[in-house]
Structure 1
Amino acid sequence: MSVTAARPQPATTAAPSWVGRRSGRRVAAGLLLVVATVLTFWQVDLRRHAGEQFLAVARPVPAGVVIADTDVRVVRVANPSGLDLLAADRRDEVVGRAAAVPLGVGSLLVSAQVGPPAWPPAGQAVIAVVVKAGRAPAGLAAGARVVILVARTPDTGQAATSPPTAQTVEARRAEASVVATSDAEQGGQIVTLLLDELQAQAVASTPGDVALVQLGPRQ
Structure 2
Amino acid sequence: MTANGAAPPARGPALRRHVSPLRILLAVVLILSFALAGAVVADRIDTRLPVMATVRAIDAGQVITEADLAVVRVAAESTVTTVPETDRGSVVGRTAAVPLVAGALLSPAQLGAAAWPPKGQSVVAVGVKPGRLPSGVTPGSHVLILIVPTATAAGTGSTPPVVQAEATVWSLEEAKDQSGDTAVSLLIAAADGRRLASVVGDVTLVQLGVGR
Asked whether the two chains share a fold, i.e. TM above 0.5, the reply is yes
Superposition TM-score, scaled by structure 1 size: 0.69
Residue 55 of structure 1 aligns with which residue? Answer: 52
Q: Which of these residues, 112, 125, 128, is aligned with residue 128 of structure 1?
A: 125
Q: Secondary structure at the match of 1:49?
A: coil
User: What is the rounded CA distance, in whole Å, between the counterparts of 2:111 and 2:182 in structure 1?
Assistant: 30
Q: Which of these residues, 182, 199, 211, is aligned with residue 192 of structure 2?
A: 199
User: What is the rounded CA distance, in whole Å, between the counterparts of 1:149 and 1:72 in structure 2?
Assistant: 39
Q: Taking structure 1 as reference, are residues 155 and 82 closer, same or farther at Cα in structure 2, changes over 3 Å only?
A: closer
Alignment of 1:40-189 (within 5 A): 48-50=46-48, 52-155=49-152, 168=159, 170-185=161-176, 186-189=179-182
User: Does the 8 A contact of 1:149 with 1:174 survive in 2?
Assistant: yes
User: What is the rounded CA distance, in whole Å, between the counterparts of 1:89 and 1:154 in structure 2?
Assistant: 59
Q: Give the paired residue count.
A: 165
Superposition TM-score, scaled by structure 2 size: 0.72
User: What is the rounded CA distance, in whole Å, between the counterparts of 1:181 and 1:93 in structure 2?
Assistant: 32
CA RMSD of aligned residues (A): 2.2
Residues 161-214 of structure 1 deviation map (CA, whole Å, 9 limit, x = unaligned): xxx9xx525211011111111111321211111111011011011000111111
Q: Which of these residues, 190, 201, 207, is aligned with residue 208 of structure 1?
A: 201
User: What is the rounded CA distance, in whole Å, between the counterparts of 1:124 and 1:53 in structure 2?
Assistant: 35
Runs of 4+ in 1 over 3 A off after TM superposition: none
Deviation at 1:130, TM superposition (A): 0.8
Where do 5+ consecutive residues of structure 1 fail to align? 1-46, 159-163
Question: Which has a greater percent of helix?
Answer: 1
* Identity across the alignment (%): 42
Where do 5+ consecutive residues of structure 2 fail to align? 1-44
User: Does the 8 A contact of 1:154 with 1:170 survive in 2?
Assistant: no
Deviation at 1:61, TM superposition (A): 0.8
